[in-house]
């Protein structure tokens, strides 16, 4: 019989290769960020209803040519932003969807007001891309993972005048229905609006995929 210690020493490298090989196959979030981009914001939540904490990365391009002087003579980063959606798996993460340049910079010129603030919310297996625009209201795009893609299934918006809601819009692209609520109380001060509701059927051939959107600023939801 051979020396037991020699046998252990022979087997040990094999075990180390298995362990290290397994670790090498694990994919961390930063592995999915392409060259020339950086991580901007991170959001967690279950997007495919498997009980795992999936991950949404907002990324931002790092091209120095897009750092420019604005109308106030201040240097600002006008690089566009994008999104990477990762599903959690036993070996780390796997790519679910991506769109590297669909969001404008957070430093765009907002005109007489600041630019809308972009954020992501994950709940009920859906991803909500939300734009908050202070006293002017907000708008939100709802995506759900289906048919191997994240598809746009809903849109909601509120047009405000300070604390007063002037109009609310809700579109269900799956049901092909649109609800418009317009405030008819001209003396409303906020919270006392009186809404007139109008339902319409919209025409849509297929659901829009997240990966197909070139620019969220140009989507034009109000033509439905």
In a domain, 22, yes or no: no
Q: Which of 182, 141, 140, 187 is nearest to 165 (CA)?
A: 182
CA-to-CA distance for 137 and 166, rounded, in angstroms? Answer: 10
Q: CA 37, 43, 47: angle at the middle one, nearest 5?
A: 110
pTM, entire model:
0.86
pLDDT tens, residue by residue, 80-93: 999 999 999 888 99
Structural domain count of the chain: 1
In a domain, 11, yes or no: no
- Which tokens hold the place of 94? 């796997």
pLDDT tens, residue by residue, 170-195: 999 999 999 999 999 999 999 998 99
**What is the model's pLDDT at position 6?**
53
Radius of gyration of the chain (CA): 24
In a domain, 21, yes or no: no
In a domain, 5, yes or no: no
Q: Domain span at residue 131?
A: 27-223
In a domain, 45, yes or no: yes
pLDDT tens, residue by residue, 11-32: 544 444 444 443 334 578 999 9
In a domain, 53, yes or no: yes
- Band (pLDDT 50/70/90 cuts) for residue 73 is confident
């Amino acid at each position: 019989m051979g020396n037991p210690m020699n046998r252990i020493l022979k087997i040990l490298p094999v075990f180390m290769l298995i362990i290290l090989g397994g670790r090498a196959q694990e994919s961390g979030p930063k592995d999915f960020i392409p060259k020339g981009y950086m991580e901007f914001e991170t959001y967690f939540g279950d997007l495919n209803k498997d009980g795992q904490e999936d991950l949404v990365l907002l990324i931002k391009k790092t091209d120095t040519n897009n750092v420019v002087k604005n109308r106030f003579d201040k240097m600002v980063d006008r690089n566009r932003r994008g999104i990477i959606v990762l599903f959690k798996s036993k070996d780390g993460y796997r790519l679910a969807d991506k769109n590297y340049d669909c969001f404008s910079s957070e430093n765009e010129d907002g005109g007489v007001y600041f630019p809308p603030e972009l954020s992501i919310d994950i709940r009920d297996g859906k991803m909500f891309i939300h734009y908050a625009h202070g006293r002017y209201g907000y708008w939100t795009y709802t995506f759900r993972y289906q048919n191997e893609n994240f598809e746009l299934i809903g849109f909601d918006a509120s047009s405000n005048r300070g604390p007063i809601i002037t109009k609310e819009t809700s579109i269900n692209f799956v049901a092909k229905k649109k609800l418009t609520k317009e405030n008819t109380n001209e003396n409303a001060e906020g919270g006392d609006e009186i809404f007139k509701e109008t339902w319409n059927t919209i025409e849509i051939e297929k659901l829009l995929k997240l990966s197909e959107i070139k620019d969220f600023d140009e989507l034009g939801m109000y033509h439905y």
